[in-house]
Amino acid sequence: MILRRGTSPKLEHEKKLMTSPEILDRYRDIIVNTLKARIDQDHLFVYDMLRYCMGWSDKDGIPVNGVMGKSLRPSLCLFACEAVGGNMRNALPAAASLELIHNFSLIHDEIEDFDETRHHRPTLWALWGINKALVAGNALRIVADQSMEMMRKNDDKDTERILKGVELLTEACLEMIEGQYMDISFEGRIDITLNQYMSMISRKTGALIRCSLHLGAVMGTENLRTLEIFRRTGTSLGYVFQIRDDILGIWGQEESTGKPVGIDILRKKNSLPIVHAMDKADSKGRERLREIYSLQSLGEPEVLAVLDIMEQAGTRDYAQGLAHQYEEEALKSFEKALDLNPYVVDTWVNKGTVLWKEMGNREDALAAFDKALEINPNFMGAVDSRISLEAEIKANRPSFFKRLFGG
């Protein structure tokens, strides 16, 4: 079943929000090389599956390009380390572990949700069966531990910092698994509260994102106030990314998500829009939702009915507003990081990126990029971002005749 509704400007904005900021792109090559050093040398078949999972090869083991994920979590880790004045390379083993654990969780998540595709390719279990996919996922989890072990081999003098990093990652992994269990236990229920939902996503999605920034900062500084700021920033970003994902799970178009419109409704998944509609719809709407969710399986008529109830309850506006609220909180955390160290060029560039990409505030974003270039005129992240922003401003500026005649 494919539901198609016209793509709204709001959805186009949401699709833009799902793209990783340009400031993180510069870490991609070093992350890929580090990951490949962990799993690209072994010739056992399970490692062929892992290379396929990471997007480096096709199902026959032939190398391919362009299907790897955004590497958001390791990029955040390396960014945080540099932002507090640390050496990025000290955080590389931790960054690799974060990406490996994220992919371990995706393999299990795909099995639990019976997802047959990811990034427009068949998932591991769809190609090789559930049992082999589970083994491959568990192997990724062990390789992640081995990557953390590399920190101790590289620097056996800073034992306390390394042990702290291992502790943070272990706690985050356990929280993520707890959140996944909560998510599964919520399916099919109609009594989930917004507080219960937020508690679940703070674990399932938020734990690794929070850990990414916190762990990276730990690798770069011992300042407790700074570490707390990055932990709080990670908490806010974790909420943002899951809420956006929930929005796309209801209203996202198949050509961009690879999944049908309303996929979370078809699965009777208690994502934020569903929980909100259950709580805020009128009595007739709530009763209809209970009827729909009591059905054994759902089809297009039920999906359309739920979408209409959500529209009447103002669900999309609520979800977008909540995501924006947490974006603001993340931005405030960046401000605090700047107060602690106003000369960290990365932080100014990241602030500019949030203002531009997340909030559409081009004027203040331009000022942030200019501040970064004052600190370091040759910093390519700031140079490239400013050039791209200027081009966007010019492209959206009304022509002389439009301004003159109001066309």
Question: What does the alpha-carbon distance between residue 119 and residue 170 come to, in Å, rounded to a whole number?
Answer: 28
For residue 98, what pLDDT is reported? 97
Residue 2 near residue 303, CB atoms below 8 Å: no
DSSP readout, 303-369? HHHHHHHHHHHTHHHHHHHHHHHHHHHHHHHHHHHHHH-TT-HHHHHHHHHIIIIIT--HHHHHHHH
For residue 267, what pLDDT is reported? 84
Question: What does the alpha-carbon distance between residue 210 and residue 215 come to, in Å, rounded to a whole number?
Answer: 8
Q: What are phi and psi of 281, to 5 degrees?
A: -65, 160
Q: Which CATH class is domain 9-341?
A: mainly alpha
Residue 92 near residue 79, CB atoms below 8 Å: no
Low-confidence residues in the chain, pLDDT < 70: 1-24, 41-43, 66-68, 153-157, 254-259, 338, 340-343, 397-407
DSSP conformation class of 398? P
Element (H, E) at 403: helix 400-405
Nearest residue to 169 (alpha-carbon basis) of 147, 137, 136: 147
DSSP conformation class of 90? G
pLDDT in tens, 131-161: 999 999 999 999 999 998 887 766 655 788 8
For residue 321, what pLDDT is reported? 96
Task: Write the CA distances from 402 to 165, 363, 397, 405, integer angstroms.
Answer: 57, 22, 10, 5
For residue 45, what pLDDT is reported? 85
Nearest residue to 197 (alpha-carbon basis) of 207, 185, 209, 212: 185
Q: Compute how many other C-beta atoms are within 10 angstroms of the C-beta atom of residue 220.
A: 23
Question: What does the alpha-carbon distance between residue 254 and residue 248 come to, in Å, rounded to a whole number?
Answer: 10
Q: What are phi and psi of 85, to 5 degrees?
A: 95, 10
pLDDT in tens, 355-391: 887 778 888 999 999 988 888 787 777 888 889 888 8
For residue 187, what pLDDT is reported? 80
For residue 255, what pLDDT is reported? 66
Nearest residue to 118 (alpha-carbon basis) of 132, 102, 131: 102
